[in-house]
Amino acid sequence: MLIGPRSTLNTHTLVRKSTLGADCSVSPNTTIDSSCIFDEVRIGANCDLRECIIGRDVHIADGVKIGRGALIGNGVRIGKGAQIPDYARVGRERWRAEDDDEEEEEDEEESEEEKGE
Q: Which residues pair with 26 in a beta bridge?
A: 9, 43
Q: Is the pTM of this model over 0.85?
A: no
Evaluate if residue 104 carries a pLDDT over 70.
no
Domain assignments of the chain as residue spans, ordered by start: 2-90
CATH code, 2-90: 2.160.10.10
In the chain, pLDDT over 90 holds for what percent of residues? 77
pLDDT single digits (tens) 27-74: 999 999 999 999 999 999 999 999 999 999 999 999 999 999 999 999
Evaluate if residue 102 carries a pLDDT over 90.
no
